Structure 1
Amino acid sequence: MNEAFAEQARKLLTGRVEFLLSAPQLKFLPEPTVPEIAFAGRSNVGKSTLLNELTGRKKLARASVTPGRTQELNIFDVGDPVQLRLVDMPGYGFAKAPLKVVQKWRGVVNGYLRGRPVLKRTMLLIDARRGLKDIDREVMRMLDGAAVSYHLVMTKADKVKPSLLENTLAEVTAEAAKHPACHPRIFATSSETGQGIADLRSEILDAITAK
């Protein structure tokens, strides 16, 4: 991406961003009038922190103390007039979650992924310190089955030694190649240092403007 495009993406994502609504069920979703970019990931992967960094906010998305606490689709309007919506999906990782909560999560998320015509891209967040886990692979298969194009986004890249990060990226890239809906470009990001944030913003803008 060139510098002008990157600046356009930065201005959009750090401009007007406002919370629209929380949808505990699909019937509460807003009318599908603008492109949407969804963010998914295990609980405590750093999803809220990444969303805050992308939008230049401190408290756009709340980082929950209790993993898996958010069980709704939180939706944010971006732009004035609105040009896209960011969808903060419930974190997964159900070590302490009741079965009914897990089933509800699957129903809402699967329904959203399969039936949302304006969903342009899903960003699936992976903790750089831990790499892909079985539950991440399960969600990747869900995205493949829904034919939803998605990127893998490594978070907390600053917490890993460069050599180890390189190895993890290589492993994740090789595995991503086996998934038909997974975009080949993998992002390594850090909300602490800003690593990869500009590239991710540009990718979001590209996803919503590509013909």
Structure 2
Amino acid sequence: MANPLARAQYTLAAHLPRQLPPDGGFEVAFAGRSNAGKSSALNALCQQNALARVSKTPGRTQQLVYFGLPQYPDRFLVDLPGYGYAKVPQDLRAHWQAFLDNYFRTRIALRGLVVVMDIRHPLKDYDRHMLGYTVERGLPAHALLTKADKLSRSAAGNVVQAVKRDLAKSFGDAVSVQSFSGESKLGVEQAREVICGWLEIAPD
């Protein structure tokens, strides 16, 4: 079965709201702390090695980076700025916060959010904050627990169940959860199915 995300390509990077594409179509956003493996997850989902830049210096994504699908001109994957280890000036951090707040509250094209978390350190304050943004808008969210290859299968399964219970208390059934590994490709098909469903595209 062909992967509809495999032809994804860099489209633009937006530092200001006016730089965003016209607000129509379908967008799925990806958020995650700077060391959670967001770029690796995007690359695995799109079966590309260097679509999203994987940096040895966490926190290099400092804009909203859009990846378009040529066969679907109004569909985009959006890589959001990473937080956590990013050593950035306070004013730039404040700018990101205001920009993301406006994006989540007003962006009509946004159809869902994937929050990427290291399965060994899930549900930090930032993760909960991003999930809260999305659920507040009535949009679906998907928690991608990455680096699952670092744990045994049973240990990874226990974490997934614990995260599901925790999120159900705060958000009901608005957030789905799965384990994932860009390295071993565990859970890639499952995550891709969620994203393609939100984008309303079918396998080629």
The alignment's TM-score, normalised by the length of structure 1, stands at 0.87
In the other structure, the counterpart of 1:156 is 147
Secondary structure of the corresponding residue to residue 179 of structure 1: helix
Letter matched to residue 49 of structure 1:
S
Question: How many aligned positions are there?
Answer: 201
The residue type paired with residue 124 of structure 2 is K
CA RMSD of aligned residues (A): 1.9
Which secondary structure does the structure 1 equivalent of 2:84 belong to? coil
1:12–1:79 CA contact under 8 A, matched in 2:
no
CA offset digits 1:116-171 (Å, max 9, x no partner): 10111100111111122222223223333343321111111101122221221121
| Aligned pair partner of 1:192 in 160, 173, 183 | 183
2:3 to 7, 11, 14: 11
Ranges in structure 2 where 5+ consecutive residues have no aligned partner = none
Residue 131 to residue 60, structure 1, CA distance change in 2 (3 Å):
same
Segment of structure 1 superposing worse, 22-31 or 90-99: 90-99
Q: TM-score, normalised by structure 2?
A: 0.90
CA distance in 2, matches of 1:99, 1:39: 23
Q: CA deviation at 1:82?
A: 2.1
- The CA deviation at 1:181 is 7.6
Unaligned runs of 5+ in 1: 1-6
Letter matched to residue 11 of structure 1: N
Distance 1:67 1:47, change over 3 A: same
Is 1:113 matched with 2:104?
A: yes
Taking every aligned residue pair, what percent have the same amino acid on both sides? 35
Q: 1:35-93 CA deviation, whole Å, 9 max, x = no partner? A: 11100000011111111111111110101222222210000111424251000001011
Residue of 11, 17, 37 corresponding to 1:20? 11
Tell me which residue corresponds to 1:4.
none
Structure 1 SS opposite 2:111 = strand
Q: Is the 8 A contact 1:151 1:182 kept in 2?
A: no
8 Å Cα contact 2:112/2:134 also seen in 1:
no
Q: CA deviation at 1:101?
A: 2.2
Q: Is the CA contact 1:147–1:181 (under 8 Å) kept in the aligned structure 2?
A: no
Match of 1:207 among 185, 195, 198: 198
2:180 paired with 1:165: no
- Given residue 24 of structure 1, which amino acid in structure 2 is its aligned partner? H
Change in Cα spacing, 1:181 to 1:147, as seen in structure 2 (3 Å) is farther
Q: 2:170 aligns with which of 164, 179, 195?
A: 179
Q: Distance in 1 between matches of 2:26 and 2:134?
A: 18
Q: Is the 8 A contact 1:46 1:155 kept in 2?
A: yes
Please list, as runs of the form range in 1=range in 2, the aligned pairs for 1:68-83 lying within 5 A after superposition: 68-82=59-73
Q: Which moved more, 1:58-67 or 1:36-45?
A: 58-67
